[in-house]
Chain A
Amino acid sequence: MKEPRTKDFLRTTFGPGHRVVLVALAEALFSEDSDVPEERMRSFAADVDGFVSPASRPLRVGLVLMLRFIQLAPLLLFFSFSLFENLPVKKRVELLDRMDRSSVGFVALVLVAYRTIMTMVFYEDPHELSLLGYPGDERKVFLRFQSKKARASALLHAEELDSGEHEAAKVHVAAADGSAE
């Protein structure tokens, strides 16, 4: 993928101390079996930073405080005298799972916020996408579009429509014949 031409939003949000927690969080979320290389985890933390840094200052401050909460969650939630990043991966997963199911809105929200941001960035990696079966740049062509069988099936579905919609469907199917790549 091409990088944006304009070099805006050069600011960063997370310092080295925060990134350690980010990496520990990423390991728990995506590499419970330690199947993601450490180097990728470090560059992933930078990607997450790049993602949140265009946001407003209040939101960025909120995200940093939420990360601090995760870091202190073993103590705050489970009275365990350890920082999040110092827990074994298995314990981190257990802790996050309990946060996910928590009936306390804020606790669940912290986990949801970070899982949302980090999942979006993690599964954008072309290698991860290919593992999911996503065809990458082939998405630019609607593969079913060219299938005669699909068009025949479409007309069959069109029978369920009323007469006006049926006619419109036929017109568009015909038009599609000329516009497929």
Chain B
Amino acid sequence: MQALLSFDQAPPLAAPLRFFLTAPLFAILAGLLLLWSGPDLFASRWTPAALALTHLISVGFMLQVMLGAMIQILPVAAGANLSRPLLVASLVHVAITLGALLLAAGMLSYEPLVLRLAVFLLGSGVALFVGAAARSLYGVPSTNPTVRGLKLALSGLSVTVGLGLLLAIAFSGGFELPLPLRQLTPIHLGWGFVGWGVLLLAAVAFVVVPMFQMTPPYPAAFTGTFSWSVLALLCMWSFAAGAAWHWPSAILEGAVVLSVASFAALTLQVQSRSKRAKFDATQHYWRVGMLCALATCVLWFAAAVVPALAERPEWSLCCGVLALVGGFMSVMIGMLYKIVPFLVWLHLQNRGGGRVLAPTMNKVIATRQIDRQMYAHLLALALLLAAVVWPLWFSYPAGLAVVLANAWLLRNLLTAAAFYRRHCLKIEAWEAATATPVG
């Protein structure tokens, strides 16, 4: 109950902003890695460069954005404030930033010490965050689908990172795994994509899509059952996959993929009934994200029908690009364009105490710049998909496009940070000019 009483202490802007500003740097690094490794990266999903690139996006970009957003979402959606948010944010941010860098470096170099250091940093950073979030959520009843989804997504993150740590230590020659590496990897991947990524996204979508895009609500029967049923399916599938029960494992995996597909399809259907007069970049980003998620699921089912498809390296790489860059990154960038300008406005408004009014959100990042960045992102996505099929032709253009789209994103977010600083100075100057001299 204590947690419910504290939603006046909005976390300081610096707490989430550091995560948002770091995320594009990792995507830029991913683009540079592609330029450095060239077409060889696309030989298979198991090449060191492909593994490093995957983790630069998932741990570097996605984890940063998701943790930053959670700091902001927990108080609003659940009335749960992290205690000492700035301290927690600083420690978690340093740990996961260095951890992600070392993880990618370790995968590229096969250097056991680097991998183990990465494991230590990522493990402690995520454990600290999950601990702080769990503490803030303690006593908050899971009465609505969003609170329940947030809690379950945090457990999904813990399992993903736990399995990732096992894999990295085994990879660095630390110990012999009870399961073959290639049998444990899909379970790690399933938990990361679905148990953490999709569950968090869905928990957020259930409130964000109807309220901010003015759509009808998701059906209560869906939101009430989605998160826990997906998590239950994921647990059963992991068990069956770990025990190498071929058929039960395939059926349960199919059920998980079908649940994700139904979420994506339902989101598209709900969004198509938006009452807003025109779509903005965020809505386009959501739509692209859900279409890509749906395409990933279709590809998965195609390989279930035609097993030869799954043998081809292009198949898994295509699924990876669609899910990570097309699905998760699209939705996250779209959300950043609402979260960051709104937070800048809110903090300026609070800072000005109602005497100095803050300029509205669309002054923080120009709509034109947001739209152009979105086109750059879509171009990068298209070129990456082309590079999966024709690596010799498209690897370098795709790498360049990824660097361009994310440098643009970084520029847009830095513009917002500079806007905030500039207006804080204005408020300070106004306060100094109007202050009553003492004595």
Binding between chains A and B = no
